């Protein structure tokens, strides 16, 4: 089973999110970088599948040269190959990103064993466009399921489940296919020391796809108004319980 996983390097923001003075980016001077939890789970799922069925896991990212760090994180978790599509210092939108991923999957298939399963996150943590996976599936002509929280690979097909409005939706289709996953599908492992050492030495393939303009054009980013300010302290420890009960009464949540 040849599995490829698409991951995106995004700023790791802690207690506060700050926009640069020109309003164009998130201020990352104080932050690290990581991939989204959804994508961590996609890497874990791919590694588990190849542990069961054999095959290789490739991780793929479109980003700056520094996104090699995130590829190495995935290699440390058990991915076998890594591909960096260099973004040329530009911000890519979902259509261009999908086109670059499609081209890379096709290039791989032309050179050797193609990809049987392509895993992505349901949405990227930063832009939250909710569409790269679906666009990639259309580009490749493959079936696609999104928001998946349970996946079984059955011979030459997949059975994928998600929960929606208190019901379970199950999708069954043949491979190759595109599946976008959500956190909760598994509990990602921690990287092992040998895994880290292997990742450090691994070679990363690099390509330069052609940027294309998008139909959704950012003008500016801003932080939404914060309706809440500092909390009113009702008291300390169990002594505060009578005040807390009165508050719950006032809020109308006691039956």
Ligand X SMILES: Cc1cc2nc3c(=O)[nH]c(=O)nc-3n(C[C@H](O)[C@H](O)[C@H](O)COP(=O)(O)OP(=O)(O)OC[C@H]3O[C@@H](n4cnc5c(N)ncnc54)[C@H](O)[C@@H]3O)c2cc1C
Interface positions, 37-56, toward ligand AMP (CB under 6 A)? 38-39
Q: Rounded to the nearest whole angstrom, what is the least distance from the CB of residue 180 to ligand AMP in the complex? A: 6
Q: Say whether residue 70 binds ligand AMP (CB under 6 A).
A: no
Annotate each residue in 138-167 with x if it binds another protein (CB under 8 A) or - if it does not, as one string. Answer: xx-x-xxxxx-x------------xxxxxx
Residues 6+ apart with CB under 8 A from 178: 118, 119, 120, 133, 134, 136, 137, 140, 142, 143, 144, 145
What residues contact 40, with CB distance under 8 A and at least 6 apart? Answer: 183, 188
Task: Decide which of ligand AMP, ligand X, another protein, none touches 168; Cβ closer than 5 to 8 Å per partner kind.
Answer: another protein
Does position 29 interact with another protein (CB under 8 A)? The reply is: no
Tokens of 170: 């199950």
Q: Is residue 114 a contact residue for ligand X (CB under 6 A)? A: no
Binding flag, residue 121, ligand AMP (CB under 6 A):
yes
List the structure tokens of 44.
């874990």
Q: Which residue has the tokens 């595109």?
A: 178
Q: Is 30 in the site for another protein (CB under 8 A)?
A: no
DSSP string, 47-102: HHHHHHH--EEEEEEEE-GGGHHHHHHHHHTT--EEEEEE-TT----HHHHHHHHH
The region of 34-42, 53-61, 62-70, 72-80 touching another protein under the rule CB under 8 A is 34-42
Binding partner of residue 234 among ligand AMP, ligand X, another protein, none, CB cut-off 5 to 8 Å per kind: another protein
Per-position x/- string for 131-150, each x denoting binding to ligand AMP as judged by CB under 6 A, each - no binding:
xxx-----------------
Per-residue tokens: 102: 């499609």
């Amino acid at each position: 089973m040849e599995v490829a996983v698409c991951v995106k390097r995004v700023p790791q923001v802690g207690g506060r999110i700050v926009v640069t003075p020109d309003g164009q980016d998130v201020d990352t001077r104080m932050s690290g970088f990581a991939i989204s939890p959804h994508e961590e789970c996609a890497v874990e799922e791919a590694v588990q599948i190849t542990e069961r069925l054999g095959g290789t896991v490739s991780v793929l990212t479109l980003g700056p040269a520094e996104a090699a760090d995130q590829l190495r994180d995935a290699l440390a978790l058990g991915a076998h190959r890594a591909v960096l599509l260099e973004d040329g210092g530009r911000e890519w939108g979902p259509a261009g990103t999908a086109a670059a991923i499609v081209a890379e999957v096709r290039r791989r298939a032309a050179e050797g064993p193609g990809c049987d399963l392509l895993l992505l996150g349901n949405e990227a943590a930063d832009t939250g466009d909710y569409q790269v996976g679906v666009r990639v599936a259309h580009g490749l002509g493959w079936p696609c399921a999104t928001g998946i929280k349970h996946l079984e690979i059955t011979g030459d097909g997949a059975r994928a489940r998600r929960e929606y409005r208190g019901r379970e939706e199950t999708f069954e289709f043949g491979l190759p296919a595109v599946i976008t996953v959500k956190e909760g599908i598994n509990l990602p492992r921690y990287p092992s020391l040998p895994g880290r050492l292997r990742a450090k030495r691994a070679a990363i393939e690099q390509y330069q796809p052609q940027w294309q303009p998008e139909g959704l054009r950012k003008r500016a980013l801003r932080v939404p108004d914060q309706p809440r300010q500092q909390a009113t302290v009702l008291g300390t420890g169990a002594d505060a319980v009578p005040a807390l009960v009165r508050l719950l009464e006032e809020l109308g949540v006691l039956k």
